[in-house]
Structure 1
Amino acid sequence: MPIVEYEPGTAFPGKIGRTAAESSPAWPAPIRARDGAPNVLLVVLDDVGYGQFGCFGGLVDTPNIDRVAAAGLRYANMHTTSLCSPSRACILTGRNHHSSGVASIMEAATGYPGYDGRMPFENGMLPEILLGHGYNTFCLGKWHLSPAEENTLAGPFHRWPLGRGFERFYGFLGGETSQWYPDLVQDNASISQPKPPEEGYHLSADLADQAIRFVLEAHVNAPEKPFFMYYSPGCAHAPHHAPKDWIERYKGRFDAGWDAYRQEVFTRQKEIGLLPADAKLPTHDPDVPDWGNLPADQRRLYARFMEVYAAFLSYTDHHFGRILDTLERIGELDNTLVMVLSDNGASSEGGPLGSVNEMLFFNQVPESLEANMAMIDELGGPRTYNHYPWGWTWAGDTPFRRWKRETYRGGTATAFALSWPAKVTARGEIRTPYAHIIDIAPTVLEALDLPAPKTIRGVPQSPLEGVSFAHTFNDPEGATEHRTQYFEMFAHRAIDHDGWRAVCPWPGPSFTEAAAKGHHFGDPTPPEILDELETTGWELYHIAADPTESTNVAAEHPARLRELITLWWAEAGKYKVLPLDGSAQARLATERPQMAEPRTHYVYYPDLAVVPFAALPRTYNRPYSIEADVEIPADGAEGVLFAQGGTAGGQVLYIQNGRLRYAHNYVGRDVMHVESSGGVPPGRHRLRFEFEPTGRPDIKNGKGTPGRAQLYVDGELVANTELPHTTPFLFGIEGASVGYDFGEPVLHDYAPPFTFTGTIHQVAIDVSGDLIEDTEADIARLMAQQ
């Protein structure tokens, strides 16, 4: 007898009698995709400039991204928000970033509707929509779309990937992570990486392994069921990590420098047809030094930074190719809509000198050329947290000016490649209609012949704000249907409308020009500043004739400029862009609602998942203590009691060679130790570290509070030393663990995880300011013993 199915919620079509023999069954129909529904593979890279993919004229080898472009299309006129979380919100929802409350990264949320970081459920995501049409939905890599204070294992989990329509997740929740020691989450649980870097581990390879596994596990069970995969490997966001042999492939490739790179890529982009023949390259950026004027050692270091970056991108491209190969092997590649793009332009967060440790930037520690040179052979490896200098950022965004976080096209334009061999007949063609990443979701829905839903899980849906460009797939002459698009990031503003572009840069067109007026990135924008910007700060470009923003024509077209400024304010009111806020540090330091009540005493237990750094007590520049309640067996014990952070900076309380030790890793530059003179005897003990400030922090120079580091065993002072400075703001993005050192080690005196071999009952951190009283004589005695 054939199976009878009926739509859930409708009347039962079978028959119910007194017995089964007198009855006929029917089944609620499962949700199935329509026959032949395509897969969707959406690849979102991080901080990759318009001029870095090979298929967009770049000098980095990306054969598999190029393979997508050759099998389909390159879109030369695609735009982002200029920052990661906002762009990802746009891509997945089809709405503007302020409409989703994601004006900035989630860690910079403030208490206004366009800025609060709480993405509303009326802005449904693609996986939520496609799940309701019979798709498997997979998320791999970077998320960065849930509030940082909700990223603990206390939840809530409704804004994690599994709460937003994904059935499976393997990746990391924050904005960045080490490629060698990632902060991994699988579904709704923190996990450890499958093997250490010494055994060949790298996150890019791991993510590809998991992506292939997700596809094959679904395919063998339901070969006809399509999937939607959001694949976001975190490349090429700092830290730039790559295997040594991949780095060596680029040795000498960038010795000519960023000026030469920019010129060569610009020429190639014209040859490819991405730019018109009469396009101009904007003048040399005032913030970027001329390569030829740099000393030889500096050029050697900077070239090496770029070799590492290129290796990172190529290595990630290689593993993306494995996913394409798998789809081809199982016969699914032709019917897979593949889209590849970056979330914004290249990143300038390495500063003018580059950095071996990005935590220097976050802690306002000045870069040292000498210190960076000393680490040149370590760049890209597990002992560094590196980022290239912003000369390469500027070059990577060729042919445009400026970079990530700014709304010039260097920050907002992205390379975009698309293929779908079964439906897109073009091979290697270029499309030039204006598009924005809010157009991706409606384009996917049109390509799949699916309507935008009126409700998702009972929640009425807001209208999509993007428009589909699916009509351009097979029509080279297809015109844009996206006429107007605003931009805003940290009060840096722009608007595109019918081939014209107005830009109001804040704090200025460059850092150099801004500083001449006393303005700096992160400065707030009070009313008097805004009034000045409205009268003198706007620039105008005729993008239809000048796609690289090389010539400001505001003086020639004042009426056009006034029209665009007025239009920007209208869009700002419509999409929750106000209030404008150029501040950076103040936004990062904003007090936000927390899941837990405020406290000064934190208790942790051994061998549990890592505690995210955003949920940890802030021990910087204040008195605090770490106390472990432990039992030492008769034959002794060693290992980590409490570890926070990693190679880029952190602190660890541990026992080694029988002695109680504490180490403070100051931004990877120097490690300060204190160690007990005798061993910890067998039995149950309270092992305590205390920090007592003895001076004021020197924040301007990146130095936190100096102080006294003291160790106690059962209340008796056993070691003491002075720390001349401490970490001022942030150890690192890695969290904390009890009984082992999660991920990368805080210091290299032991091999992680260096699990404690005794028993830990609990570890308590106290930031109330209560310290054990010591006499100066005791301290002086212990100082003499060090």
Structure 2
Amino acid sequence: MSEPAETPTTPPEGHVGRTYADSTPWWPEPARPREGAPDVVLVVLDDVGFGSLGCFGSEIATPTMDALAAEGLTYTNFHVTPLCSPTRASLLTGRNHHAVGMSMLSNADSGFPGYRGQVTHAAAMVQEVLRDTGYSTAALGKWHLAPMDRTTSAGPYDQWPLGRGFDRYYGFLEGLSDHFLPELVQDNTRVEPPATPEEGYHLTEDLVDRAIDHVSDRVSVAPDTPYFLYLALGAAHCPHQSPERYLQAQRGRYDEGWDVVRERRLARQKELGVVPPDTELAPLNDGVRPWADLSDDDRTVMARLQEAFAAMLEHTDDQLGRLMAHLEHLGRRENTLVVLMSDNGASQEGGALGNTNTLAYENGDTTTTEESLARLDDIGTWRCHSNYPWGWAQAANTPLKRYKQNVHAGGVRAPLVLSWPAGMAGAAGGLRTQFHHVVDVAPTLLDVVGVAAPEVRRGVPQMPVHGTSMRYTFDDADAPSRRRTQYFEMYGHRALVSDGWKAVAYHERHSPYESDRWELYHLPSDFSECHDLAQERSDVLHELVGRWESEAERYSVFPLDDRNFAERAAQYSSAASPRRRRRYELRPGMDTVPGGVTPLVYDRSYRIEAHVRLAGHDEGVLLAHGDVNGGHVLFVRDGLLQYEYNHQGTRYHVAGALPGAGEHRLAVAVQRTGERQALARLLVDDAEVGSQPLASTARFMIGWQGLQVGRDPGSPVSLRYPRGFPFTGHLEKVVVALADDGGADAPHEVLD
């Protein structure tokens, strides 16, 4: 017997009779924002330090961002977390990052409440609240808030942008992207870039094109509905890449070195009022040498690396200029609140010498000046993933000390500009010095649009909002700060700011926390944290350290964990993680397997075996994992089965004869022979056709980009074939099998 049909719910108003003639229709009132609610454009720059924008004292040309500051407000005492995912989690929820589960990056779940690598649904994001209120919402660019092991086409999608309140999404889910050859997602589907670098493609231009189109759609179809646009640019996170004309415009600009640039930026900051007149330049960070002490080759490489960063930031500013001009053209700029900020301070991930291969840092290695000098003309192009050295990173953070990842000012004091012509009359060009934190942005947005954060959303009770609105500062430059206390923690570095005092402890990785030395600074009189008062005011320090402990308990900071994200991801132990598998059967036509879900081939034996049917003269990629930075690829070309292992730019290659037409198994068996050393053997139907020692292999990461079967459409792992290079024969499947713990016979053992 069939189930009875469900009776429709009687409307709360109106009447349902037997016929239309004796019924009264009723329509529910849709959610609508308040009359005159502004459009909101939230722009997040990546790894752009406090002193990097023109309006914050830099010589880098950022006229669009400077214009936003000139017509709005510049916040000089704004703080963030010292890493991207945690800042974004706090930015969009208005809560502290540990409390919502994002202690570090979304690349790992460490098994503790504050370390889940995803944002709890008990902390509604601002776009979720705004959409419930009637706003249209869109996100473009970097997400990095979904657990990386849940970013395959199998989902789940609940932590992807569309699962967290955005109507539309276009961008990349990882922490960084190649800007010429990105791995892109549109809504919940992986897509390829619309053009190639040779055709003039660049990710920032693509994202701004999409922003312009999205705004045009909204204004044309629903002009009375305000929108929230989250534009999270990949710039200026490494790799520093931009079109050639921007690179050429920087040539020679930084030959005088970081010491001179830091002095000039500080002088300009004082002129602008961005820092107090008595601000001192922090001493050079540990490991940063005076420019004059470097060799000529060092200076050549390091100047070129800084040129690539500056070129990228100027290119980004030009693209934002296109978006602002379009808003003006549409007549929407006046009532648009633009928020411009950076997610953390400048990156220390280039190392003391800088690098031309960003994987080196992730694997705990370095690149030499000689290696970088050989790639000088590749810096800034698609052929190179570069990052600048510590000296330029400290210059980017002028006048502060330390960097991204640290909780000294260089990691957590960030540029912030708010511009809303219709809502900031009389405040244009103003400076605001009140102490604020990234948790305060979401409450500010909700305050401006006239919406309260919900206590319950979709049946889920909500944790309290930790931030406070900054709107009180719009009309009163001298208003006392309404945020008095804020804790900081990252990789065991700890700090607390309270009523102008800052206690901070720098932590050496894998050392006892008890040996960390706490410093004390009075920020109103010591902007750049130069004068440690720990001895003179031990009473204040003792109180602040105790308060940090209390805040840490309150916001789920414990247990402290100083492992880097690669270590945590490699040891990820959730039973649900796809990375627990030792055998993968991969089929042609599948989407890219993102880097956070690829087989853990690090420092172990493994075997890659392609089941094919050859018809003669077939060629193409069988499996590719990684990018121009590093990776490995099994492919067929020139009548040969070939395997290339690209370890941070050192390329190991082996080739062997192919069999005749028919069904075959084409494989490479990589046998671990020592710590991060191996022997690669090419096999055709289990018969060896070639071998090559691998003198160095990856420790934690083989490549940033993911894994493809039957082609290599992104940043190429090998330069021995044309871009893409799809396999022309019949590819049934590719089997990847991992050994338990290494050993010469392990690849065969795990295939049983």
- Shorter-chain TM-score above 0.5: yes
Query: Which among 640, 662, 665 is matched to residue 686 of structure 1?
Result: 665
Amino acid at match of 1:590: Q
Paired residue total = 734
Instruction: Provide the residue aligned with 1:730 in structure 2.
Output: 701
Instruction: Provide the residue aligned with 2:510 in structure 1.
Output: 523
1:255 aligns with 2:251: no
TM-score by length of 2: 0.95
Tell me how far 1:263 sits from its aligned partner. 0.5
Instruction: Provide the residue aligned with 2:136 in structure 1.
Output: 136
CA 1:391/1:10 → structure 2, altered by over 3 Å: closer, same or farther?
Answer: farther
Tell me how far 1:94 sits from its aligned partner. 0.3
Contact conserved, 1:611 with 1:735, CA < 8 A, in 2?
yes
Instruction: Provide the residue aligned with 1:782 in structure 2.
Output: none
For residues 226-237 of structure 1, the aligned pairs below 5 Å read 226-237=226-237
CA 1:195/1:589 → structure 2, altered by over 3 Å: closer, same or farther?
Answer: same
TM-score by length of 1: 0.91
For structure 1, the residue ranges without an aligned partner over 5 or more in a row are 1-7, 508-521, 698-703, 774-786
Instruction: Provide the residue aligned with 2:637 in structure 1.
Output: 656
Instruction: Provide the residue aligned with 1:544 in structure 2.
Output: 524
Instruction: Provide the residue aligned with 2:605 in structure 1.
Output: 623
Tell me how far 1:452 sits from its aligned partner. 1.3
Query: Which among 571, 584, 591 is matched to residue 590 of structure 1?
Result: 571
Distance 1:149 1:541 in 2: 41
Distance 1:747 1:347 in 2: 28
Contact conserved, 1:383 with 1:647, CA < 8 A, in 2?
yes
Contact conserved, 1:636 with 1:681, CA < 8 A, in 2?
no
Contact conserved, 1:715 with 1:772, CA < 8 A, in 2?
no
Tell me how far 1:242 sits from its aligned partner. 1.1
Tell me how far 1:559 sits from its aligned partner. 1.2
Query: Which among 554, 561, 564 is matched to residue 574 of structure 1?
Result: 554
For residues 22-33 of structure 1, the aligned pairs below 5 Å read 22-33=22-33
Distance 1:102 1:357 in 2: 28
CA 1:598/1:429 → structure 2, altered by over 3 Å: closer, same or farther?
Answer: closer
Instruction: Provide the residue aligned with 2:362 in structure 1.
Output: 362
Q: Which moved more, 1:575-584 or 1:467-476?
A: 575-584
Instruction: Provide the residue aligned with 2:685 in structure 1.
Output: 714
For residues 168-183 of structure 1, the aligned pairs below 5 Å read 168-183=168-183
Distance 1:208 1:423 in 2: 25
Instruction: Provide the residue aligned with 2:735 in structure 1.
Output: 764
Tell me how far 1:738 sits from its aligned partner. 0.7
Q: CA RMSD in A?
A: 1.7
Tell me how far 1:771 sits from its aligned partner. 4.6
C-alpha distance after superposition, 1:618-660 (max 9, x if no partner): 1222222111111223x52111111111100111111112221
Distance 2:79 2:720 in 1: 47
Describe the SS at the equivalent of 2:692.
strand
Amino acid at match of 2:554: K
Tell me how far 1:130 sits from its aligned partner. 0.2
Contact conserved, 2:306 with 2:388, CA < 8 A, in 1?
yes
Amino acid at match of 2:465: L
Query: Which among 717, 721, 734 is matched to residue 746 of structure 1?
Result: 717
Tell me how far 1:219 sits from its aligned partner. 2.1
Distance 2:497 2:177 in 1: 34
Q: Which moved more, 1:421-430 or 1:47-56?
A: 421-430
Distance 2:487 2:648 in 1: 38
Tell me how far 1:581 sits from its aligned partner. 2.3
C-alpha distance after superposition, 1:479-522 (max 9, x if no partner): 21000111111111111111111111112xxxxxxxxxxxxxx3
CA 1:561/1:770 → structure 2, altered by over 3 Å: closer, same or farther?
Answer: closer
Distance 2:323 2:134 in 1: 22
Tell me how far 1:10 sits from its aligned partner. 9.1
Instruction: Provide the residue aligned with 1:560 in structure 2.
Output: 540
CA 1:650/1:532 → structure 2, altered by over 3 Å: closer, same or farther?
Answer: closer
CA 1:260/1:9 → structure 2, altered by over 3 Å: closer, same or farther?
Answer: farther
For residues 76-475 of structure 1, the aligned pairs below 5 Å read 76-425=76-425, 426-475=427-476
Instruction: Provide the residue aligned with 1:777 in structure 2.
Output: none
Tell me how far 1:390 sits from its aligned partner. 0.7
Amino acid at match of 2:422: A
Distance 1:567 1:595 in 2: 37
Tell me how far 1:36 sits from its aligned partner. 1.7
Instruction: Provide the residue aligned with 1:514 in structure 2.
Output: none
Tell me how far 1:673 sits from its aligned partner. 1.4
CA 1:716/1:297 → structure 2, altered by over 3 Å: closer, same or farther?
Answer: closer
C-alpha distance after superposition, 1:79-100 (max 9, x if no partner): 0111111111110000011111
Instruction: Provide the residue aligned with 1:778 in structure 2.
Output: none
Amino acid at match of 1:685: H
C-alpha distance after superposition, 1:150-169 (max 9, x if no partner): 12121111011111111111
Contact conserved, 1:610 with 1:742, CA < 8 A, in 2?
no
Distance 1:656 1:484 in 2: 62
CA 1:586/1:718 → structure 2, altered by over 3 Å: closer, same or farther?
Answer: closer
Tell me how far 1:38 sits from its aligned partner. 0.6
CA 1:596/1:499 → structure 2, altered by over 3 Å: closer, same or farther?
Answer: closer
Tell me how far 1:401 sits from its aligned partner. 1.1
Describe the SS at the equivalent of 2:77.
strand
CA 1:109/1:330 → structure 2, altered by over 3 Å: closer, same or farther?
Answer: same
CA 1:582/1:766 → structure 2, altered by over 3 Å: closer, same or farther?
Answer: closer
Instruction: Provide the residue aligned with 1:665 in structure 2.
Output: 646
CA 1:136/1:564 → structure 2, altered by over 3 Å: closer, same or farther?
Answer: same
Contact conserved, 1:114 with 1:577, CA < 8 A, in 2?
yes
Instruction: Provide the residue aligned with 1:515 in structure 2.
Output: none
Amino acid at match of 1:757: T
Amino acid at match of 2:478: E
Contact conserved, 1:705 with 1:728, CA < 8 A, in 2?
no
Contact conserved, 2:149 with 2:578, CA < 8 A, in 1?
no
Distance 1:286 1:727 in 2: 27
Describe the SS at the equivalent of 2:30.
coil
Tell me how far 1:357 sits from its aligned partner. 0.4
Instruction: Provide the residue aligned with 1:605 in structure 2.
Output: 587
Tell me how far 1:11 sits from its aligned partner. 4.5
Distance 2:117 2:654 in 1: 41
Describe the SS at the equivalent of 1:206.
helix
Instruction: Provide the residue aligned with 1:755 in structure 2.
Output: 726
Percent identity (aligned): 43
CA 1:415/1:598 → structure 2, altered by over 3 Å: closer, same or farther?
Answer: closer
Describe the SS at the equivalent of 1:107.
coil
Tell me how far 1:299 sits from its aligned partner. 1.2
